Structure 1
Amino acid sequence: MKLTGNTIFITGGTSGIGRGLAEALHRLGNKVIISGRRAALLDEVTAANPGMEGITLDVTRLDSIQAAAQELIAKYPDLNVVFNNAGFMPFDDVSGPIDDAVAQELVATNLLGPVRVTAALIEHLKSRPEATVLYTSSVLAFVPLAGNAIYSATKAAIHSFALSQRFQLRNTSVRVQEIAPPWVDTDLIYKSGDPRAMPLADFIEQTLVELAKDDPEVIVDAVRPLRDNPGAGEHTLFEAFNQSLAENPIPTGA
């Protein structure tokens, strides 16, 4: 993806990785429009970044997505980058009954949300000379975290979807890239300063470098071994990864 001269729409742009990348791309001179469910947070971020704009969107609701898409195309006809970043990450325990409402919201937000947002804007993107669809998946798409089983599954599904969409768009002007972050120290789980978590500033800096290479997947060096996990040794690495976290749990703030 080229890093300048874009009009970029970012879902989940009010905090964490979404806000970090929105602000970095804004500083590079791109026109950036962020979305979120809470107008007050959108106002806070856009006020801190003059020239950035916000649009209210609930990615779990199809009517909200369709309304936002119509507004975006009307107000920003040069829109050429859609960055699907909205998501949340609750802990769960699938060794027993699950909270069905939370599971449905996870699928609606982390999987159907990006699929529907892209679908609502894809014909417009195909009309642009150069366009990019970005998805935030996770390294957990390749090495699931057992204590976030449903979240990990939604990210594996987004990885699979991105592969298929990339192939189907191969003869168009639209590229599909997937950002697969490691554990980054944000409020997605609990911002704690844990040394195992990558500082957000470092992640943003390294991700911009990788994003500019135009590779299908945007992976920071620290997690390449985990990205390469699927294969004959998958179960061994999965067991070791999860055992290490069982012995030294991720802080939750609870």
Structure 2
Amino acid sequence: MSKVIYQKPKSLTDVTFHYCPGCSHGIVHKLICEVIDELGIQGNTIAVEPVGCAVTAHDYFDFDIVQAAHGRAPAVATGLKRSLPDRFVFTYQGDGDLASIGTAETVHSATRGENISIIFINNTIYGMTGGQMAPTSLPGQVTQTSPYGRDTHTQGYPVRICEMLSTLDGPSYIARVSTDSVQHIKDAKKAIKKSFEYQLAGKGFSIVEILSTCPTNWGMSPVEAMERLRTEMIPYYPLGVFKDIEEENE
């Protein structure tokens, strides 16, 4: 007698992803939907999608979705959660959305301890608009707006979101994970699940930063992009849990 060992998450539609080959968005979409299925919350979930490459996430997620203005997803999620406290609400945002135009919304939803979950895709570049320098672009990184490499003397240093938010009292769970290997993808799913479980338990604000690739705007093959993630991004953005109120209370 045969048995099913793998199947597509029910929370994921049959629409083909529009993302470029090697992009990490597809991996993360699948992980989110697997967790939602495992928690049995598909019919109770509201996602807030960003402005960016994932602006069409509503084509892929088979649950309620709201489109927010650029950077405003945490504010929209706050309104949804406060008016519909029985719903599970999460945002899906890139670094150009969350860490630039949306910095205020990110920081203040965290410091208020809003009972929402944030999935933060960090690929160190603006993807949808053609590869401009992002707040997370690494020192020396060549982009459309830093053609000679990011100069920290004139363009500042990359923003480490997890480290910054971990200084606040409001967040309940802050973690940084990666998509560069099977083990790291498994770890990413565990972090996403914990973030979602914390919201369901009413523990407040949580964020999972996911280091991701953008082969097209990096000018690399998918394999080269994964290697860059390992050798350049992870050393600058170390993986791990930066805050967990359960561990702090033990």
TM-score calculated relative to the size of structure 2: 0.44
